[in-house]
C-alpha cells in the first residue's frame, strides 16, 4: 500500500463521492459547492501526476473563476430549489441512470479489455520536467503558437458575446 | 505514481463522465445542467493529464490548457444566454422553456 496509492484513493474517493452528491441535491447552490469540492480533489489528482501548472490553473480558473460566475448567476436569478428532483417522472430517472451506466460500461470495457494504455509504466523524470510551467510555456509559444492565438480570439469573442447577450437594451 | 496503474485514473474519469451524463439527463435547472457539463469536461481533462504524465509529454497538458479556456468561454456565454432567457420567461426550469415549437 504505497503512499502514491493512498493519495490516489483519497483524492479519487472525494472526487467520485462529491460528483454523485452534486447531481442529487435539490438546491443548486449546494450542487455548486459540491462541484467546487470536486474540482479541488481533481487538482489534487493532478498534483499526484506531477502536473503542477495544470493543477494550479484548475484551482484558479475552474474553482476560482467559473464556479464564482455560476454562483453569481444563481444569486442573480434567485434560483429556487427543484421541487422534488424530477417530481413524478421516475421513468426519466431510471432511463437516465441506465444511459449513464451504459456509457460507463462502454468506456470501462474499452479501458480494461482493449487496453489503449497497454500497461504504461510511469515515466517519472520526464513527467516532472513536462509538468513545469517553463516547459508548458515553451510548448505554448513555439509548437502550439497558432492554437494559442486562436484561443485569444475565442476569449475575445466570448467576452463580447456575453456582454451583448446580457445587456438590457441597445441604445 | 510509482504503483498506480494508469487504468485507475481512466476508470475514475469514466465514472465522473457517466455521473455527469446522468446529471445532464436528470436535472431540470438549466444552470445545474451546465455544471454537470463542466464535470464531464473535467473528466476528459483528467484523462488527458494522466496520459500526458505517463508518457512524459507536455502535449496533453497543453491540450488541457486549451480545454479550460474553451470551457470558461462557453460557461460565460451560456450563462449570458440563460440570463437573457430568464428575462423573458422568468424561469430556468428547462421543462417550461418551450421556445422551439414543433
pLDDT in tens, B21-77: 999 999 889 999 999 999 999 999 999 999 999 888 899 999 999 999 999 999 999
| Contacts A135 to B, Cβ<8 Å | 58
Which has the closest alpha carbon to B74: A71, A61, A155?
A: A155
pLDDT, chain A, mean? 89
Domain annotation covers residue B101: no
Cβ distance B4 to A11 under 8 Å?
no
> DSSP letter at A87?
T
Q: Residue B26 belongs to what domain range?
A: 6-96
Instruction: For residue B1, tell me if it sits in a domain.
Output: no
Contacts of B30 in chain A (CB under 8 A): none
Distance from CA of B89 to the nearest CA of A (A): 12
Q: Around Cβ B35, how many Cβ atoms within 10 Å?
A: 26
Q: How many CB pairs under 8 A join A and B?
A: 249
Residue B57: inside a domain: yes
Report the domain count for chain B.
1
**pLDDT confidence of residue A98:** 93
Evaluate whether B39 touches A38 at the Cβ level (below 8 Å).
Answer: yes
pLDDT digits (tens, 9 = 90+) for A56-73: 999 999 999 999 999 999
B35 within a domain of the structure (yes/no): yes
Count of CB atoms within 10 A of residue B94's CB? 14
Q: What is the DSSP letter of B95?
A: G
In whole angstroms, give the CA distance from residue B92 to residue B96.
8
Q: What are phi and psi of B76, to 5 degrees?
A: -65, -50
Question: Complex ipTM, two decimals?
Answer: 0.92
CATH number where B54 lies: 1.10.287.3510
Q: Please answer yes or no on whether A23 and B72 come within 8 Å at the CB atom.
A: no
Rounded Cα distance between B55 and A60, Å, is 26
What Å distances lie between residue A78 and A75, B62, B77, B86, CA to CA?
5, 37, 19, 11
A37 touches chain B (CB under 8 A): no
Quick one: DSSP state of residue B72? H
Residue B42 lies in a domain: yes
B55 domain residue, yes or no:
yes
* Residue B49 within a domain: yes
In a domain, B88, yes or no: yes
Amino acid at each position: 500500500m504505497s503512499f502514491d496509492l493512498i493519495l490516489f484513493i483519497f483524492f479519487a474517493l472525494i472526487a467520485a463521492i462529491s460528483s454523485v452528491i452534486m447531481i442529487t441535491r435539490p438546491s443548486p447552490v449546494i450542487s455548486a459547492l459540491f462541484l467546487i469540492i470536486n474540482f479541488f480533489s481533481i487538482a489534487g489528482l493532478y498534483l499526484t501526476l506531477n502536473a503542477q501548472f495544470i493543477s494550479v490553473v484548475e484551482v484558479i480558473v475552474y474553482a476560482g473563476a467559473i464556479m464564482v460566475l455560476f454562483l453569481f448567476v444563481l444569486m442573480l436569478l434567485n434560483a429556487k430549489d427543484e421541487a422534488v428532483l424530477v417530481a413524478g417522472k421516475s421513468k426519466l430517472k431510471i432511463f437516465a441512470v441506465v444511459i449513464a451506466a451504459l456509457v460507463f460500461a462502454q468506456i470501462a470495457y474499452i479501458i480494461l479489455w482493449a487496453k489503449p494504455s497497454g500497461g504504461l509504466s510511469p515515466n517519472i523524470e520526464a513527467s516532472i520536467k513536462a509538468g513545469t510551467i517553463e516547459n508548458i510555456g515553451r510548448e505554448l509559444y513555439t509548437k502550439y503558437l497558432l492554437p494559442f492565438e486562436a484561443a485569444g480570439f475565442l476569449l475575445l469573442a466570448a467576452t463580447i458575446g456575453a456582454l451583448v447577450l446580457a445587456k438590457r437594451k441597445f441604445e | 505514481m510509482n504503483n498506480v496503474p494508469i487504468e485507475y485514473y481512466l476508470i475514475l474519469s469514466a465514472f465522473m463522465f457517466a455521473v455527469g451524463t446522468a446529471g445532464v439527463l436528470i436535472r431540470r435547472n438549466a444552470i445545474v445542467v451546465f455544471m454537470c457539463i463542466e464535470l464531464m469536461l473535467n473528466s476528459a481533462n483528467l484523462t488527458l493529464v494522466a496520459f500526458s504524465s505517463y508518457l512524459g509529454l507536455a502535449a496533453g497538458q497543453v491540450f488541457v490548457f486549451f480545454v479550460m479556456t474553451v470551457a470558461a468561454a462557453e460557461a460565460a456565454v451560456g450563462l449570458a444566454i440563460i440570463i437573457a432567457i430568464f428575462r423573458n420567461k422568468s424561469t430556468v426550469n428547462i421543462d417550461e422553456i418551450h421556445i422551439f415549437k414543433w
